[in-house]
Homo-oligomer: A and B are copies of this chain.
Amino acid sequence: MSRKRIPFGVMLQGPGGHMNAWKHPSVPADASVNFEHYVRAARQAEKAGIAFVFIADGLYINEVSIPHFLNRFEPIALLSALAASTASIGLVGTLSTSYSDPFTVARQFGSIDVISGGRAGWNAVTSPLEGSARNYNRDKHPEHALRYEIAGEHIEVVKGLWDSWDDDAFPRDRETGRYADFTKMHRLDFKGRFHAAEGPLNLGRSPQGQPVLFQAGASDDGIKLAGRHADAVFAGSESFEQNRELSRKLKQSAQAHGRQPDHLKIFPGVAPVVGSTEEEAERKYQEIRALVTDHEALLYLGRFFDHHDFTAYPLDDPFPDLGDIGANNFRAHTDRIKRVAREKKLTLREVALNEATPRSRFIGTPEAVADELGRWVEGGAADGFVLGFHVLNAGLDDFEAQVLPILEARGQHRPAQFGTTLRDHLGLPYRDSRYAVPSAGTGEEAA
Contacts and interface: CB of A to CB of B under 8 A. Distances in A.
A100 B104 contact: yes
Contact of A68 (B68, B81, B179, B198): B179
A445 interface: no
Interface string A87-113: 000000000000111011001101110
Contact of A115 (B35, B100, B195, B203): B35
A145 interface: no
Interface string A286-330: 000000010010000000000000000000000000000000000
A29 interface: yes
A137 B84 contact: no
A30 interface: yes
A85 B170 CA distance: 27
Given A71-B165, A74-B203, A114-B73, A29 B174 contact: yes
Interface in A28-47: 29-30, 33, 35, 39
Contact of A103 (B23, B136, B170, B198): B136
Given A74-B108, A81-B83, A293-B177, A134 B69 contact: no
Nearest to A109: B77
A115 B78 contact: yes
- A61, A67, A71, A134: most-surrounded residue (chain B CB, <10 A): A71
Contacts of A107: 74, 77
A73 B106 CA distance: 11
A405 interface: no
A140 to B, nearest CB: 13
Given A81-B83, A172-B29, A202-B72, A59 B103 contact: yes
A196 interface: yes
A62 B172 CA distance: 17
A22 interface: yes
A80 interface: yes
A180 interface: yes
A182 interface: yes
Contacts of A82: 84
A338 B77 CA distance: 45
This chain: how many copies in the complex?
A: 2
Nearest to A110: B74
A80 B76 contact: yes
Contact of A22 (B29, B100, B179): B179
A61 B200 contact: yes
A17 interface: no
A230 interface: no
A73 B203 contact: yes
Given A23-B174, A70-B180, A77-B115, A33 B99 contact: no
Given A84-B81, A172-B22, A198 B134 contact: yes
A182 to B, nearest CB: 5
Contact of A197 (B63, B81, B135, B174): B135
A323 B177 CA distance: 33
A204 interface: yes
A203 B200 CA distance: 34
Contacts of A199: 135
A131 interface: yes
Contacts of A203: 33, 71-74
Nearest to A179: B67
Interface in A102-161: 103-104, 107-108, 110-112, 114-115, 131, 134-137
A261 interface: no
Nearest to A100: B104
15 contacts: A23-B174, A30-B170, A63-B185, A70-B204, A71-B203, A73-B111, A74-B104, A76-B80, A76-B108, A77-B80, A81-B112, A81-B115, A83-B84, A99-B104, A137-B194
